[in-house]
């Protein structure tokens, strides 16, 4: 064995090929089957896609690096299920490009945050977390309510999402900017189209309390309120869920 | 420094920089209403800075042919200085984010200064800025000595140093502007990722072309590790960053994978960024600088073979231990745990090989803080690899995951192993590179050593305590069978440890500042001697290993 190696280390290309070969095996065995074994991701016929406003909110969540302190993955442990809710299923992040499971809980898990608190609570909390949770160490995000949400390129965002496998229709892509506006303006004519395209379960509300303006606060709160609510699969009996 | 470029290389460099400026202009134009525009402006500024640098040497006479008889160390010198600058930036930002968890209102109501945006600035600056530049600089130095061959040309190493730092600058300025993929340690967006691939290919071509010119029949063990670092990081980087940009005028992209597949790919990347960036590369550093500084050959050639292939094979399976009890299928979690535990064998073989090499040189460890940096690095390497295997066990992980224990573990490795071996190697190579007798002040090296050790120990103990308390509070039940503590209760309990951690980080930062001053004074003040010629015979210390002896 050592004699063989003694010859191998005299050949640069041989060493290169050996390194690539030896290093590739683990990834191939562990990752490739995840795409082919169909039990890896559960079936959930009621799974819906993010609306343009929720997707924009998700992009703000990504932009601000919220994943550094908040996980979105409830583990199959008793205390986690009792603290946060039913454990997370793979199907729940099926349309998450990228996933935001996170690795650290400086703040609590957010996988089941949707509709746990009111929109008003979220707005106050995001403007200054210490107004509602005095011990909090979360940064204040007051400027979100001042920033107009950029909607002009939302169609392109949906198109890119479709390219990586999220089933957005042509109508969704064509109306992305209007739908983003409509979802946060319940009394406007644009509101109906959102429900029509994304289903009756869609939440249409003035998330930041000001329907006349579409802000980054609207988008982020809309996203936080949909967390854990894209499908009911996790709330069904265990037999329907895992494997 | 750039005056050593030949006339042809100067022209080629100028042409490339003009192309780069045009690319920057295109980015700025296409992304005029997008954060990409600002990144384009940075590319233009970087290209212009390069052009001015070149013009200042453009009309100098061509370098003499006798330069080819010597090793080419200018890019290494630049890389070491840049690495120290990144160390100070990265450690400063790290300490700043640590204080943000003590006092969250230090953000001045601005977007760029919140924890989520500057935390990746810290990680990128220390891992890629400090660590990456130190690896590139030392690898070019070690490659030439152990091959007894000069680098194949003078332009490509400069391309790598310049291009790599452009990548780092685009990355950290991008985070401040809100550009991130939100994949840990793979935050830079598609255009920066693409650029890094180009730089990396050139870097690897330098390796292959220099090895092709080597006068030493055997490739020395340090180079196996440096090559594994370059090759595997390329594979990881490309696969994990596959993404579809929103448009060519947008900084934003969507990852090709989603959900569970994305999570597995990310942690296959994430854990092996630790393995091949923060371990393999720095083991390469250790296998050269530690025996050279101690004046002793590596203890066992066979142990280095076993640990090299063990690390290269086992590590790639271990990533799934980041996903215990998640929606990742159970069989993948089990594989990850199993291989993580087996990984202890090659890891400890490396650490033992390093420490046993010091047998017969322990009096030097006592007297020489530079060698002591390397010794302590090997000890921390052994400790943190043991801790890593331990934390990868599923039931331990159920407590440690999501807590500060992980943060403590990472810093035991990053401060105790990566930074210590780097500081030791830099203190060893600065006098060699700049032809000085010794560092400007041995006492400052000594002070740096103790600040670094104290800072690391304070940091790691604080995070062990806070992490374990956190994990226990989350799972504690009271007598009525309900959870005893709210999340906020656990947060309040962290406060003293967050202060201690920030103090530990500050000590480490002060040490690095002393190091910068010491290096600066060494470069500036001490007398010069002649450049080092390409050696005619094998290195006497390294050749003490059977690796470089004929027949076995």
pLDDT in tens, A100-122: 999 999 999 999 999 999 999 99
Asked if B208 and A12 touch (Cβ cutoff 8 Å), the reply is: yes
Tell me how far apart the alpha carbons of residues A215 and A207 are, in angstroms, rounded to a whole number: 9
Average pLDDT across chain B, whole number: 95
Q: How confident is the model at residue B532 (pLDDT cuts 50, 70, 90)?
A: confident
Q: Examine the pLDDT at B528 and tell me if it is beyond 70.
A: no
Min Cα separation B4/chain A (Å): 29
A90, B184, B341, B533 from B318: Cα distances, Å: 20, 17, 9, 44
Q: Which DSSP string do the residues of B406-434 spell out, in sequence order?
A: HHHHHHIIIIIIIIHHHHHHHHHHHHHHT
Q: What is the pTM of this model?
A: 0.95
Ramachandran quadrant class, B481 (left: phi over 0; alpha: psi -120 to 50; beta: rest)? left
ipTM of the complex: 0.95
- A59/B264 CB distance under 8 A: no
Residues in chain A: 243
* 15-44 in chain A: CB under 8 A from chain B: 15-16, 19-20, 22-27, 29-31, 34-35, 37, 39-41
- Burial group, residue B254, by CB count within 10 angstroms (0-12, 13-18, 19+): buried
Cα–Cα distance measured from residue B475 to residue B399, given in angstroms and rounded to the nearest whole number: 8
Q: Find, in chain A, the residue whose alpha carbon is nearest to that of B322.
A: A103
- What's the confidence (pLDDT) of residue B526? 59
Give pLDDT tens digits for B198-218: 999 999 999 999 999 999 999
Confidence band of B547 (pLDDT split at 50, 70, 90): very low
Residues whose CB is less than 8 angstroms from the CB of residue B463 and which lie 6 or more positions away in sequence, other chains included? B404, B405, B407, B408, B409, B411, B497, B501
Q: Does B378 contact A at CB distance below 8 Å? A: no
Structure confidence at residue B509 (pLDDT): 98
> Chain B contacts of A8, Cβ < 8 Å?
none
Which residue from A182, A193, A176, A168 is spatially nearest to A218, judged by alpha carbons? A182
Task: Report the pLDDT averaged over residues A17-40.
Answer: 94
Query: HEC string of B51-99?
Result: HHHHHHHHCCCCCCHHHHHECCCHHHHHHHHHHHHHHHHHHHHHHHHHH
Asked if A153 reaches chain B (Cβ–Cβ under 8 Å), the answer is yes
Condensed to tens digits (0 to 9), the pLDDT of residues B41-71 reads: 999 999 999 999 999 999 999 999 989 999 9
| HEC per residue, B273-291 | HHHHHHHHHHHHHHHHHHH
Rounded CA gap, B188 and B194, in Å? Answer: 10
């Amino acid at each position: 064995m050592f004699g063989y190696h003694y010859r191998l280390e005299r050949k640069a290309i041989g060493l290169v090929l050996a390194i690539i070969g030896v290093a590739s095996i683990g990834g191939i065995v562990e990752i490739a089957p995840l795409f082919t074994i169909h039990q890896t991701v559960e079936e959930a016929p009621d799974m819906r896609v993010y609306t343009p406003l929720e997707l924009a909110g998700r992009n703000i969540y990504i932009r601000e690096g919220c994943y550094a302190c908040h996980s979105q993955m409830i583990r199959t442990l008793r205390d986690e299920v009792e603290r946060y809710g039913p454990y997370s299923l793979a199907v729940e992040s099926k349309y998450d490009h990228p996933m935001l499971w996170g690795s650290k809980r400086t703040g609590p898990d957010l996988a089941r945050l949707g509709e746990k608190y009111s929109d008003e609570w979220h707005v106050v909390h995001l403007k200054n977390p210490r107004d509602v949770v005095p011990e909090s160490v979360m940064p204040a995000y007051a400027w979100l309510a001042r920033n107009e949400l950029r909607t002009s390129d939302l169609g392109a965002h949906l198109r890119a999402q479709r390219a990586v496998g999220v089933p957005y229709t042509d109508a969704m892509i064509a109306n992305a900017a209007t739908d983003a506006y409509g979802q946060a303006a319940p009394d406007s004519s644009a509101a109906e189209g959102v429900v029509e395209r994304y289903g009756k379960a869609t939440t249409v509300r003035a998330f930041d309390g000001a329907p006349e303006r579409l802000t980054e606060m609207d988008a982020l709160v809309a996203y936080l309120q949909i967390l854990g609510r894209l499908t009911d699969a996790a709330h069904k009996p265990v037999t329907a869920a895992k494997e | 420094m750039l005056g050593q470029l030949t006339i042809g290389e100067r022209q080629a460099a100028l042409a490339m920089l003009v192309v780069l400026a045009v690319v920057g202009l295109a980015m700025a134009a296409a992304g005029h209403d997008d954060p990409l525009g600002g990144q384009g402006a940075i590319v233009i500024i970087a290209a212009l800075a390069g052009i001015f640098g070149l013009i200042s040497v453009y009309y100098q006479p061509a370098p003499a042919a006798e330069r080819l008889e010597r090793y080419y160390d200018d890019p290494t010198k630049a890389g070491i200085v840049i690495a120290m600058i990144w160390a100070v930036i990265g450690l400063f930002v790290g300490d700043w984010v640590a204080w943000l968890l003590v006092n969250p209102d230090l953000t001045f109501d601005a977007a760029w200064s919140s924890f989520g945006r500057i935390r990746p600035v810290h990680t990128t600056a220390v891992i890629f800025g400090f660590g990456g530049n130190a690896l590139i600089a030392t690898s070019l130095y070690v490659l030439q000595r152990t091959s007894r061959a000069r680098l194949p040309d003078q332009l490509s190493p400069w391309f790598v140093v310049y291009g790599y730092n452009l990548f780092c600058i685009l990355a950290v300025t991008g985070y401040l502007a809100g550009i991130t993929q939100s994949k840990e340690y793979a935050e830079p967006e598609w255009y920066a990722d693409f650029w890094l691939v180009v730089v990396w290919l050139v870097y690897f071509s330098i390796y292959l072309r220099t090895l092709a010119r080597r006068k030493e029949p055997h490739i020395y063990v340090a180079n196996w590790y440096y090559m594994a670092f370059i090759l595997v990081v390329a594979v990881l980087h490309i696969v994990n960053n596959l993404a579809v940009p929103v448009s060519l005028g947008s900084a934003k992209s969507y990852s090709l994978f989603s959900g569970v597949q994305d999570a597995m790919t990310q942690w296959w990347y994430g854990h092996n960024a630790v393995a091949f960036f923060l371990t393999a590369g720095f083991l390469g550093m250790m296998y050269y600088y530690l025996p050279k500084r101690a004046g002793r050959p590596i203890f066992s050639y066979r142990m280095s073979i076993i640990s090299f292939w063990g690390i290269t094979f086992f590590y790639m399976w271990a990533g799934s231990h980041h996903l215990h009890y998640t929606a990742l299928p159970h069989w993948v979690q089990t594989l990850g745990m199993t291989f993580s535990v087996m990984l202890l064998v090659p890891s400890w073989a490396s650490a033992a090989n390093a420490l046993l090499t010091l047998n017969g040189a322990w009096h030097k460890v006592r007297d020489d803080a530079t060698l002591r940096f390397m010794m302590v690095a090997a000890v921390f390497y052994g400790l943190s690899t043991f801790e890593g295997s331990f934390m990868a066990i599923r039931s331990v992980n159920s407590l440690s995951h999501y807590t500060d224990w992980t943060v403590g573990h990472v810093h035991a490795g990053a401060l105790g192993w990566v930074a210590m071996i780097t500081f030791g190697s830099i203190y060893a190579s600065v006098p060699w590179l700049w032809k000085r007798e010794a560092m400007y002040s041995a006492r400052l090296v000594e002070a740096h050593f103790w600040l670094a050790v104290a800072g690391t120990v304070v940091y790691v103990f604080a995070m062990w305590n806070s992490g374990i308390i956190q994990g226990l509070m989350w799972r504690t039940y009271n007598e009525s069978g309900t959870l005893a503590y709210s999340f906020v209760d656990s947060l309040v309990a962290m406060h003293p440890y967050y202060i201690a951690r920030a103090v530990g980080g500050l000590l480490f930062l002060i040490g690095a500042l002393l190091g910068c001053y010491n290096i600066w004074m060494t470069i500036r003040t001490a007398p010069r001697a002649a450049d080092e010629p390409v050696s005619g015979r094998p290195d006497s210390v390294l050749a003490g290993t059977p690796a470089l002896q004929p027949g076995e």
